[in-house]
Amino acid sequence: MSQLALEPLFERIMILPDKVEEVTETGIVLPVEARKRPNTGIVISIGHLVEAKCPIKPGDHVLYQRYSGLEVTSGGTTYHMVIANDLLGKFTSPDAINGLQVNQPS
């Protein structure tokens, strides 16, 4: 991966979000408006205050609040910039994310 032109500051974390589901398991193509914003992804870079407060590092696969932070585009790739407090967990194995379903309270 090439060097990013933007580094997160303070308690911010830059995440490469996982791919958004475009087609349901039954084959229905979802319109852009119906697609959920991803809430899992790979940590790309972290601010200098994150290291002391949060046990994550670049390359970790994390779960974060769905509508937190903001989207940043660099080199045609979209990233999510979130605050460390918006992280909900870190996946301990690649298989842990398979079958994960996070339900929002109604």
- Residue 102 falls inside a structural domain: no
- Residue 88 falls inside a structural domain: yes
CATH number at residue 84: 2.30.33.40
Q: What is the pLDDT of residues 51-71, one digit of tens each?
A: 777 789 999 999 998 888 899
What separation, in Å, do the N-terminal and C-terminal C-alpha atoms of the chain show?
Answer: 39
The domain tally of the chain equals: 1
Residue 104 has what pLDDT?
52
3-state SS, one letter per residue, for 21-71: CCECCCCCECCHHHCCCCCEEEEEEECCCHHHHCCCCCCCEEEECCCCCEE
- Residue 26 falls inside a structural domain: yes
- Residue 1 falls inside a structural domain: no
Structure tokens given for 1: 């991966």
- Residue 101 falls inside a structural domain: no
Structure tokens given for 33: 């408006």
Structure tokens given for 37: 């914003």
- Residue 60 falls inside a structural domain: yes
For residue 103, count CB atoms less than 10 angstroms from its CB and return exposed for 0-12, middle for 13-18, buried for 19 or more.
exposed
* pLDDT above 70 (res 99): no
Q: Which domain holds residue 58?
A: 12-92
Q: What is the pLDDT of residues 2-44, one digit of tens each?
A: 566 788 889 999 999 988 777 778 888 877 776 777 789 999 9
- Residue 71 falls inside a structural domain: yes
- Residue 22 falls inside a structural domain: yes
